[in-house]
Amino acid sequence: MTIQEQEHIKQKGYKEAMHYIANAKDYLQKAGIDEDDRYKSKKYVRTACGTAYLGVLEALNTYLRLKNPDVVKSKEPKTIDFYRRNLAKENRKVLSSLNTVYTFLHIDGYYQGVLEMMAIKIGFQRAQEIIDLIKPAGVAQ
C-alpha cells in the first residue's frame, strides 16, 4: 500500500470517526447538567455514548486496516474480543484506551445509562485518543 493510499484511508476513516464524535457531543449538550455534575437526560447520554463508541470502532477499523489489511477483511465478527485480540498484538496503549471506552461509554453510558459526567468525560477523552491515531498529516488539532 502506497503512502498516498494510506493517507486516503486515514482521511476517510478520520472524517467518519470525527463525524460520529461531533454528533455525540451534540447529544451530550442536549442532556443538560444538574447541580451535582450529573447529566439530566438518560436518553441523550445513551445516544451520545453509543454514537461515540461507533466512532471509535470506525477509527479502530481504519487503524487495523493500515496495520494489517487482511485482519479487517476477515469474515470474523467484529466483537470487542476481536478488537482486543488484534490490538494486543499491535498496540497495548490503544488496547487500554479501548477498554476504558468500552467500559465507560458502551457499557456504563449506553447500556446502563450512567449519568456521571466525569465517567462520560473520561470515556470521550480516551475515544478521542484512539481517533487521533488515524489523524491524517496536516489536519489541525
16 phi, psi to nearest 5 deg = -65, -45
Confidence (pLDDT) at 50: 98
Enclosing domain of residue 47: 3-132
Confidence (pLDDT) at 139: 67
With cut-offs at 50, 70 and 90, classify the pLDDT of residue 69: confident
Average pLDDT of the segment spanning 65-78: 80
Any domain includes 109: yes
Compare 76 and 57 and report the one with higher pLDDT: 57
pLDDT for 30-62, tens place per residue? 999 999 999 999 999 999 999 999 999 999 999
Confidence (pLDDT) at 88: 92
Mutual angle of helices 42-67 and 80-90, in 10-degree steps: 50
Contact 13, 133 (CB under 8 A): no
Confidence (pLDDT) at 111: 96
Any domain includes 120: yes
Q: Coil, helix or strand for 38? A: strand
The CATH number linked to 25 is 1.20.120.330
Average pLDDT of the segment spanning 78-95: 91
What's the mean pLDDT when you consider all of the chain? 92
Any domain includes 139: no
Measure the CA–CA gap between 69 and 64, rounded to whole angstroms: 7
Any domain includes 16: yes
Any domain includes 137: no
Confidence (pLDDT) at 18: 97
Contact 55, 21 (CB under 8 A): yes
Compare 93 and 138 and report the one with higher pLDDT: 93
Distances (CA, A) of 128 to 1, 3, 21, 92, 122: 26, 24, 8, 16, 10
> How many domains in the chain?
1
Compare 75 and 99 and report the one with higher pLDDT: 99
Label residue 36 left, alpha or beta by phi (over 0 means left) and psi (-120 to 50 means alpha). alpha
Any domain includes 141: no
Any domain includes 88: yes
Average pLDDT of the segment spanning 60-66: 93
Any domain includes 99: yes
The number of CA neighbours under 13 Å toward the Cβ of 17 is 26
